[in-house]
Amino acid sequence: MDHFLYRDGQLHAEDVPVADIVAAVGTPLYIYSTATLTRHYRVFDEALSGLPHLIAYAVKANGNLAVLKTLGDLGAGMDVVSEGEFRRALAAGVPGGRVVFSGVGKTAEEIAFALAHNVRQLNVESFEELELVSQVAVAENRSAPVALRVNPDVDAKTHAKIATGKSENKFGIPIARAREAYARAKALPGIEVIGVDVHIGSQLTDLAPFESAFEKVAELTRLLREDGHDIRRIDLGGGLGIPYRQANEAPPLPFDYGALVKRTVGDLGCEIEIEPGRLIAGNAGILVGRVVYRKQGEGRVFLVLDAAMNDLVRPAMYDAWHDIVPVREPAPGVERAEVDVVGPVCESGDTFARARPLPPLEAGDLVAFRSAGAYGAVMSSEYNGRRLVPEVLVNGDQFAVVRARPSFDEMIARDTIPSWTA
Protein backbone atom coordinates (compact mmCIF):
# COMPACT_ATOMS: atom_id res chain seq x y z
CA MET A 1 0.00 0.00 0.00
CA ASP A 2 1.11 3.57 -0.64
CA HIS A 3 -0.30 7.08 -0.42
CA PHE A 4 0.10 8.11 -4.07
CA LEU A 5 -3.47 8.17 -5.41
CA TYR A 6 -5.49 10.02 -7.99
CA ARG A 7 -7.86 12.64 -6.67
CA ASP A 8 -9.84 15.11 -8.78
CA GLY A 9 -7.98 13.93 -11.86
CA GLN A 10 -4.50 14.54 -10.44
CA LEU A 11 -1.96 12.24 -8.79
CA HIS A 12 -1.49 13.22 -5.17
CA ALA A 13 1.27 12.49 -2.67
CA GLU A 14 -0.86 12.15 0.47
CA ASP A 15 -2.86 15.43 0.37
CA VAL A 16 -0.56 17.36 -1.97
CA PRO A 17 -1.02 17.39 -5.75
CA VAL A 18 2.19 16.14 -7.36
CA ALA A 19 1.89 18.90 -9.97
CA ASP A 20 2.07 21.51 -7.18
CA ILE A 21 5.34 20.03 -5.94
CA VAL A 22 6.72 20.00 -9.48
CA ALA A 23 5.75 23.66 -9.90
CA ALA A 24 7.84 24.52 -6.83
CA VAL A 25 10.79 22.15 -7.30
CA GLY A 26 11.00 21.20 -10.99
CA THR A 27 11.71 17.83 -12.59
CA PRO A 28 13.03 15.25 -12.28
CA LEU A 29 12.48 14.82 -8.54
CA TYR A 30 11.82 12.17 -5.90
CA ILE A 31 8.81 12.44 -3.60
CA TYR A 32 8.48 10.41 -0.39
CA SER A 33 5.40 9.83 1.77
CA THR A 34 5.69 10.04 5.56
CA ALA A 35 2.40 8.14 5.95
CA THR A 36 3.69 5.22 3.87
CA LEU A 37 7.02 5.04 5.70
CA THR A 38 5.18 5.09 9.02
CA ARG A 39 2.64 2.48 8.02
CA HIS A 40 5.23 0.05 6.69
CA TYR A 41 7.37 0.32 9.81
CA ARG A 42 4.37 -0.26 12.07
CA VAL A 43 3.17 -3.24 10.03
CA PHE A 44 6.54 -4.93 10.56
CA ASP A 45 6.52 -3.99 14.24
CA GLU A 46 3.07 -5.54 14.68
CA ALA A 47 4.12 -8.67 12.75
CA LEU A 48 6.80 -9.37 15.37
CA SER A 49 4.66 -8.53 18.38
CA GLY A 50 5.15 -10.98 21.20
CA LEU A 51 8.86 -11.36 20.45
CA PRO A 52 11.60 -9.09 21.74
CA HIS A 53 12.81 -7.44 18.55
CA LEU A 54 14.50 -4.54 16.81
CA ILE A 55 13.62 -3.39 13.31
CA ALA A 56 16.93 -2.08 11.99
CA TYR A 57 16.07 -0.20 8.80
CA ALA A 58 18.60 -0.86 6.01
CA VAL A 59 20.04 2.59 5.32
CA LYS A 60 21.39 1.49 1.94
CA ALA A 61 17.82 1.46 0.58
CA ASN A 62 17.31 5.18 1.15
CA GLY A 63 19.69 7.18 3.31
CA ASN A 64 18.01 10.59 3.26
CA LEU A 65 18.26 12.11 6.74
CA ALA A 66 14.57 13.03 6.78
CA VAL A 67 13.64 9.41 6.04
CA LEU A 68 16.02 8.15 8.74
CA LYS A 69 14.69 10.68 11.27
CA THR A 70 11.10 9.71 10.50
CA LEU A 71 11.83 6.03 11.11
CA GLY A 72 14.19 6.61 14.04
CA ASP A 73 11.51 8.61 15.84
CA LEU A 74 9.21 5.60 15.50
CA GLY A 75 11.79 3.47 17.33
CA ALA A 76 13.65 1.95 14.40
CA GLY A 77 17.27 0.96 14.61
CA MET A 78 19.56 1.27 11.60
CA ASP A 79 21.45 -1.34 9.61
CA VAL A 80 24.52 0.31 8.10
CA VAL A 81 27.32 -0.93 5.84
CA SER A 82 29.81 1.95 6.02
CA GLU A 83 31.04 4.71 8.30
CA GLY A 84 29.18 7.18 6.11
CA GLU A 85 25.87 5.41 6.70
CA PHE A 86 26.68 5.19 10.42
CA ARG A 87 27.27 8.94 10.48
CA ARG A 88 23.95 9.47 8.71
CA ALA A 89 22.16 7.43 11.37
CA LEU A 90 23.79 9.46 14.14
CA ALA A 91 22.97 12.73 12.36
CA ALA A 92 19.31 11.63 12.22
CA GLY A 93 19.32 11.17 16.00
CA VAL A 94 19.61 7.37 16.10
CA PRO A 95 22.11 6.37 18.82
CA GLY A 96 24.88 3.86 18.23
CA GLY A 97 23.12 1.46 20.56
CA ARG A 98 20.44 1.01 17.88
CA VAL A 99 22.91 0.66 14.97
CA VAL A 100 23.88 -2.71 13.50
CA PHE A 101 27.04 -2.53 11.37
CA SER A 102 26.97 -5.04 8.51
CA GLY A 103 29.10 -5.33 5.39
CA VAL A 104 31.83 -7.58 4.03
CA GLY A 105 34.65 -5.04 3.88
CA LYS A 106 34.80 -3.02 7.11
CA THR A 107 38.11 -1.24 7.59
CA ALA A 108 40.00 -0.83 10.85
CA GLU A 109 39.00 2.84 10.87
CA GLU A 110 35.32 1.97 10.46
CA ILE A 111 35.47 -0.64 13.22
CA ALA A 112 37.13 1.86 15.56
CA PHE A 113 34.48 4.47 14.73
CA ALA A 114 31.70 1.98 15.45
CA LEU A 115 33.18 0.97 18.79
CA ALA A 116 33.73 4.62 19.77
CA HIS A 117 30.03 5.26 19.15
CA ASN A 118 28.83 2.24 21.15
CA VAL A 119 27.59 0.23 18.18
CA ARG A 120 24.87 -2.26 19.03
CA GLN A 121 26.71 -5.02 17.20
CA LEU A 122 29.16 -5.76 14.41
CA ASN A 123 28.00 -8.42 11.97
CA VAL A 124 31.31 -10.11 11.18
CA GLU A 125 31.58 -11.80 7.77
CA SER A 126 34.91 -13.65 7.77
CA PHE A 127 37.67 -15.16 9.89
CA GLU A 128 39.91 -12.35 8.69
CA GLU A 129 37.48 -9.66 9.81
CA LEU A 130 37.13 -11.37 13.17
CA GLU A 131 40.88 -11.09 13.72
CA LEU A 132 40.83 -7.40 12.75
CA VAL A 133 37.92 -6.61 15.06
CA SER A 134 39.84 -8.19 17.93
CA GLN A 135 42.96 -6.17 17.15
CA VAL A 136 41.03 -2.90 16.98
CA ALA A 137 39.02 -3.63 20.12
CA VAL A 138 42.18 -4.39 22.10
CA ALA A 139 43.90 -1.26 20.77
CA GLU A 140 40.87 0.86 21.70
CA ASN A 141 40.48 -0.89 25.08
CA ARG A 142 36.92 -1.83 24.23
CA SER A 143 34.79 -4.94 23.97
CA ALA A 144 33.29 -5.54 20.52
CA PRO A 145 29.75 -7.01 20.48
CA VAL A 146 29.76 -9.48 17.59
CA ALA A 147 27.35 -11.64 15.63
CA LEU A 148 28.87 -13.84 12.96
CA ARG A 149 27.14 -13.80 9.61
CA VAL A 150 26.73 -17.32 8.32
CA ASN A 151 26.16 -18.19 4.67
CA PRO A 152 23.51 -20.95 4.67
CA ASP A 153 23.89 -21.81 0.94
CA VAL A 154 20.21 -21.13 0.26
CA ASP A 155 19.02 -20.08 -3.17
CA ALA A 156 16.88 -16.98 -2.63
CA LYS A 157 15.49 -17.28 -6.19
CA THR A 158 15.99 -13.59 -6.85
CA HIS A 159 18.11 -11.56 -9.28
CA ALA A 160 21.71 -12.80 -9.33
CA LYS A 161 23.05 -9.35 -8.43
CA ILE A 162 21.04 -9.19 -5.19
CA ALA A 163 21.37 -12.81 -4.03
CA THR A 164 23.65 -13.06 -0.98
CA GLY A 165 23.05 -16.44 0.65
CA LYS A 166 24.54 -18.96 -1.79
CA SER A 167 27.96 -20.52 -1.38
CA GLU A 168 29.38 -18.66 -4.39
CA ASN A 169 28.37 -15.25 -2.97
CA LYS A 170 30.97 -13.10 -1.21
CA PHE A 171 28.94 -12.72 1.99
CA GLY A 172 29.26 -14.51 5.30
CA ILE A 173 31.10 -17.51 6.71
CA PRO A 174 30.13 -20.92 5.28
CA ILE A 175 27.68 -22.43 7.74
CA ALA A 176 29.73 -25.66 7.76
CA ARG A 177 32.57 -23.66 9.39
CA ALA A 178 30.38 -21.68 11.77
CA ARG A 179 31.25 -23.62 14.93
CA GLU A 180 34.93 -23.25 14.11
CA ALA A 181 34.46 -19.51 13.66
CA TYR A 182 32.59 -19.13 16.94
CA ALA A 183 35.27 -21.11 18.76
CA ARG A 184 37.88 -18.73 17.35
CA ALA A 185 35.79 -15.71 18.36
CA LYS A 186 35.49 -16.99 21.91
CA ALA A 187 39.26 -17.34 22.15
CA LEU A 188 40.06 -13.86 20.86
CA PRO A 189 40.52 -10.91 23.23
CA GLY A 190 38.17 -7.96 22.88
CA ILE A 191 35.36 -10.03 21.34
CA GLU A 192 31.94 -10.53 22.94
CA VAL A 193 29.92 -13.07 21.00
CA ILE A 194 26.24 -12.19 21.26
CA GLY A 195 24.43 -13.61 18.26
CA VAL A 196 24.02 -15.16 14.84
CA ASP A 197 23.40 -13.24 11.63
CA VAL A 198 22.04 -14.35 8.25
CA HIS A 199 20.89 -12.52 5.12
CA ILE A 200 20.12 -14.36 1.91
CA GLY A 201 19.19 -11.64 -0.57
CA SER A 202 16.80 -8.94 -1.64
CA GLN A 203 13.37 -8.72 -3.32
CA LEU A 204 12.30 -12.22 -2.29
CA THR A 205 8.71 -12.98 -3.26
CA ASP A 206 8.47 -16.44 -1.68
CA LEU A 207 8.81 -17.36 1.99
CA ALA A 208 10.33 -20.79 1.30
CA PRO A 209 13.97 -19.61 1.05
CA PHE A 210 13.54 -17.67 4.32
CA GLU A 211 12.15 -20.77 6.01
CA SER A 212 15.09 -22.90 4.85
CA ALA A 213 17.63 -20.33 6.05
CA PHE A 214 15.91 -19.67 9.38
CA GLU A 215 15.65 -23.38 10.16
CA LYS A 216 19.40 -23.73 9.57
CA VAL A 217 20.03 -20.75 11.88
CA ALA A 218 17.83 -22.26 14.59
CA GLU A 219 19.73 -25.55 14.41
CA LEU A 220 23.05 -23.72 14.51
CA THR A 221 21.95 -21.65 17.52
CA ARG A 222 21.19 -24.79 19.49
CA LEU A 223 24.58 -26.30 18.59
CA LEU A 224 26.40 -23.10 19.54
CA ARG A 225 24.69 -23.05 22.91
CA GLU A 226 25.78 -26.63 23.46
CA ASP A 227 29.31 -25.42 22.71
CA GLY A 228 28.97 -22.87 25.51
CA HIS A 229 28.23 -19.70 23.52
CA ASP A 230 25.74 -17.18 24.92
CA ILE A 231 23.62 -16.64 21.81
CA ARG A 232 21.01 -14.07 22.74
CA ARG A 233 20.31 -12.32 19.45
CA ILE A 234 19.40 -13.62 16.00
CA ASP A 235 19.72 -11.20 13.10
CA LEU A 236 17.58 -12.48 10.22
CA GLY A 237 18.53 -9.77 7.72
CA GLY A 238 16.04 -8.28 5.29
CA GLY A 239 14.98 -9.12 1.77
CA LEU A 240 11.18 -9.30 1.74
CA GLY A 241 10.02 -8.10 -1.67
CA ILE A 242 7.52 -5.47 -2.73
CA PRO A 243 5.00 -5.42 -5.62
CA TYR A 244 6.70 -3.45 -8.39
CA ARG A 245 3.97 -4.49 -10.83
CA GLN A 246 0.94 -3.32 -8.91
CA ALA A 247 -1.46 -5.24 -11.14
CA ASN A 248 -0.14 -8.78 -10.81
CA GLU A 249 2.47 -9.10 -8.05
CA ALA A 250 1.62 -10.14 -4.51
CA PRO A 251 4.70 -10.87 -2.38
CA PRO A 252 4.19 -12.30 1.11
CA LEU A 253 2.86 -9.88 3.69
CA PRO A 254 4.89 -8.85 6.75
CA PHE A 255 2.28 -10.64 8.89
CA ASP A 256 3.07 -13.93 7.15
CA TYR A 257 6.79 -13.25 7.46
CA GLY A 258 6.36 -12.56 11.17
CA ALA A 259 4.48 -15.82 11.61
CA LEU A 260 7.34 -17.65 9.90
CA VAL A 261 9.88 -16.01 12.20
CA LYS A 262 7.90 -17.05 15.26
CA ARG A 263 7.51 -20.61 13.95
CA THR A 264 11.20 -21.14 13.10
CA VAL A 265 13.19 -19.22 15.72
CA GLY A 266 10.57 -17.91 18.14
CA ASP A 267 11.17 -20.64 20.70
CA LEU A 268 14.86 -19.86 21.18
CA GLY A 269 14.38 -17.01 23.65
CA CYS A 270 16.48 -14.66 21.51
CA GLU A 271 15.93 -11.05 20.65
CA ILE A 272 15.12 -10.93 16.94
CA GLU A 273 16.62 -8.34 14.63
CA ILE A 274 15.41 -7.77 11.08
CA GLU A 275 16.81 -5.36 8.50
CA PRO A 276 14.06 -4.35 6.05
CA GLY A 277 14.89 -1.58 3.61
CA ARG A 278 13.04 -1.98 0.35
CA LEU A 279 9.77 -3.04 1.99
CA ILE A 280 9.71 0.09 4.15
CA ALA A 281 10.94 2.66 1.64
CA GLY A 282 10.22 1.20 -1.81
CA ASN A 283 6.53 2.00 -2.18
CA ALA A 284 6.98 5.17 -0.11
CA GLY A 285 8.57 7.02 -3.01
CA ILE A 286 8.01 8.02 -6.62
CA LEU A 287 10.27 9.56 -9.25
CA VAL A 288 8.57 12.25 -11.32
CA GLY A 289 9.81 13.22 -14.76
CA ARG A 290 8.58 15.27 -17.69
CA VAL A 291 8.22 14.24 -21.33
CA VAL A 292 10.71 16.24 -23.41
CA TYR A 293 9.89 14.69 -26.78
CA ARG A 294 7.49 12.20 -28.24
CA LYS A 295 9.77 10.81 -30.94
CA GLN A 296 8.59 8.71 -33.85
CA GLY A 297 11.20 6.03 -34.59
CA GLU A 298 11.31 3.25 -37.16
CA GLY A 299 8.28 1.20 -36.21
CA ARG A 300 8.23 2.41 -32.60
CA VAL A 301 7.52 5.51 -30.55
CA PHE A 302 9.91 6.85 -27.93
CA LEU A 303 8.90 8.97 -24.96
CA VAL A 304 12.09 10.87 -24.13
CA LEU A 305 12.00 12.08 -20.51
CA ASP A 306 14.13 14.53 -18.56
CA ALA A 307 14.71 11.70 -16.02
CA ALA A 308 17.49 9.25 -16.86
CA MET A 309 19.37 6.15 -15.76
CA ASN A 310 21.62 8.27 -13.56
CA ASP A 311 18.50 9.23 -11.57
CA LEU A 312 16.98 5.72 -11.41
CA VAL A 313 19.45 3.01 -12.38
CA ARG A 314 17.40 -0.07 -11.47
CA PRO A 315 15.91 -0.70 -14.95
CA ALA A 316 19.34 -0.42 -16.60
CA MET A 317 21.19 -2.39 -13.90
CA TYR A 318 18.66 -5.08 -13.01
CA ASP A 319 16.18 -5.02 -15.91
CA ALA A 320 13.78 -3.89 -13.22
CA TRP A 321 10.14 -3.01 -13.82
CA HIS A 322 8.57 0.16 -12.41
CA ASP A 323 4.95 1.01 -13.09
CA ILE A 324 4.84 4.31 -15.00
CA VAL A 325 1.71 6.44 -14.65
CA PRO A 326 0.67 9.89 -15.89
CA VAL A 327 0.42 12.56 -13.22
CA ARG A 328 -2.81 13.72 -14.87
CA GLU A 329 -5.33 10.88 -14.58
CA PRO A 330 -6.28 9.36 -17.94
CA ALA A 331 -9.91 9.40 -18.95
CA PRO A 332 -11.75 6.11 -18.29
CA GLY A 333 -11.36 3.66 -21.14
CA VAL A 334 -8.74 5.74 -22.94
CA GLU A 335 -6.86 3.75 -25.57
CA ARG A 336 -3.28 2.81 -24.73
CA ALA A 337 -0.42 2.36 -27.17
CA GLU A 338 2.99 0.75 -26.77
CA VAL A 339 5.91 3.16 -26.36
CA ASP A 340 9.55 2.92 -25.30
CA VAL A 341 10.22 5.15 -22.27
CA VAL A 342 13.79 6.44 -22.35
CA GLY A 343 16.03 9.09 -20.88
CA PRO A 344 18.48 11.60 -22.40
CA VAL A 345 21.73 9.94 -21.28
CA CYS A 346 24.08 8.94 -24.11
CA GLU A 347 23.63 5.19 -23.55
CA SER A 348 21.25 2.73 -25.19
CA GLY A 349 20.89 1.27 -21.71
CA ASP A 350 19.15 4.47 -20.62
CA THR A 351 15.79 2.79 -21.18
CA PHE A 352 13.12 2.55 -18.51
CA ALA A 353 10.60 0.45 -20.41
CA ARG A 354 10.16 -1.14 -23.84
CA ALA A 355 6.82 -1.50 -25.59
CA ARG A 356 5.00 -0.30 -22.47
CA PRO A 357 1.26 0.27 -23.03
CA LEU A 358 0.58 3.85 -21.89
CA PRO A 359 -2.18 6.39 -22.47
CA PRO A 360 -1.43 9.27 -24.89
CA LEU A 361 1.43 11.44 -23.61
CA GLU A 362 3.01 14.44 -25.25
CA ALA A 363 5.88 16.84 -24.61
CA GLY A 364 5.36 18.64 -21.29
CA ASP A 365 3.31 15.90 -19.66
CA LEU A 366 4.41 14.58 -16.28
CA VAL A 367 4.87 10.90 -15.46
CA ALA A 368 5.59 9.13 -12.19
CA PHE A 369 7.62 5.97 -11.62
CA ARG A 370 6.02 4.08 -8.76
CA SER A 371 7.89 2.11 -6.09
CA ALA A 372 11.02 4.23 -6.53
CA GLY A 373 11.66 5.04 -2.87
CA ALA A 374 14.33 2.35 -2.42
CA TYR A 375 17.56 2.10 -4.40
CA GLY A 376 16.57 5.19 -6.38
CA ALA A 377 18.07 8.48 -5.22
CA VAL A 378 20.63 6.66 -3.10
CA MET A 379 22.15 5.05 -6.22
CA SER A 380 21.97 8.17 -8.39
CA SER A 381 24.99 9.81 -9.99
CA GLU A 382 26.07 12.84 -12.00
CA TYR A 383 26.82 10.83 -15.14
CA ASN A 384 26.72 12.95 -18.31
CA GLY A 385 27.15 16.06 -16.18
CA ARG A 386 23.60 15.77 -14.86
CA ARG A 387 22.74 17.23 -11.48
CA LEU A 388 21.55 14.99 -8.66
CA VAL A 389 17.80 14.82 -8.30
CA PRO A 390 16.16 16.70 -5.41
CA GLU A 391 14.16 14.81 -2.79
CA VAL A 392 10.90 15.96 -1.22
CA LEU A 393 9.13 14.59 1.86
CA VAL A 394 5.37 14.96 2.17
CA ASN A 395 3.47 14.87 5.45
CA GLY A 396 -0.26 15.27 5.04
CA ASP A 397 -0.84 18.58 3.27
CA GLN A 398 2.75 19.77 3.77
CA PHE A 399 5.90 19.15 1.78
CA ALA A 400 9.55 20.06 2.21
CA VAL A 401 12.64 19.76 0.05
CA VAL A 402 14.87 17.39 2.05
CA ARG A 403 17.72 17.38 -0.47
CA ALA A 404 18.03 20.30 -2.84
CA ARG A 405 19.04 20.06 -6.47
CA PRO A 406 22.62 21.37 -6.65
CA SER A 407 23.46 24.16 -9.06
CA PHE A 408 25.81 23.49 -11.95
CA ASP A 409 28.34 25.78 -10.25
CA GLU A 410 28.17 23.70 -7.05
CA MET A 411 28.62 20.51 -9.02
CA ILE A 412 31.62 21.81 -10.96
CA ALA A 413 33.20 23.47 -7.90
CA ARG A 414 33.81 20.08 -6.30
CA ASP A 415 36.63 19.54 -8.81
CA THR A 416 39.95 21.33 -8.60
CA ILE A 417 42.50 22.05 -11.32
CA PRO A 418 46.13 21.47 -10.23
CA SER A 419 48.48 24.42 -10.18
CA TRP A 420 50.84 22.97 -12.80
CA THR A 421 48.20 23.42 -15.52
CA ALA A 422 48.13 27.19 -15.05
Question: What residues are labeled active site?
Answer: 346
Q: What is the CA radius of gyration of the chain?
A: 23
3-state SS, 91-120, equals HCCCCHHHEEECCCCCCHHHHHHHHHCCCC
3-class secondary structure, 133: helix
Q: Which residues pair with 353 in a beta bridge?
A: 341
Q: What's CA 330's distance to the chain center, in Å?
A: 31
Q: What's CA 302's distance to the chain center, in Å?
A: 30
| Beta strand pairing call for 337-342 and 233-235 | unpaired
CB-CB contact of 121 with 147 (8 Å): yes
Instruction: Compute the distance between CA of residue 422 and CA of residue 308 in angstroms, rounded to an integer.
Output: 36
Which residues have a Cβ under 8 Å from the Cβ of 292 and sit 6 or more positions away? Answer: 304, 305, 306, 344, 363
Instruction: Compute the distance between CA of residue 369 and CA of residue 205 in angstroms, rounded to an integer.
Output: 21
Instruction: Compute the distance between CA of residue 113 and CA of residue 122 in angstroms, rounded to an integer.
Output: 12
Instruction: Compute the distance between CA of residue 300 and CA of residue 315 in angstroms, rounded to an integer.
Output: 19
Q: Which residues pair with 339 in a beta bridge?
A: 356
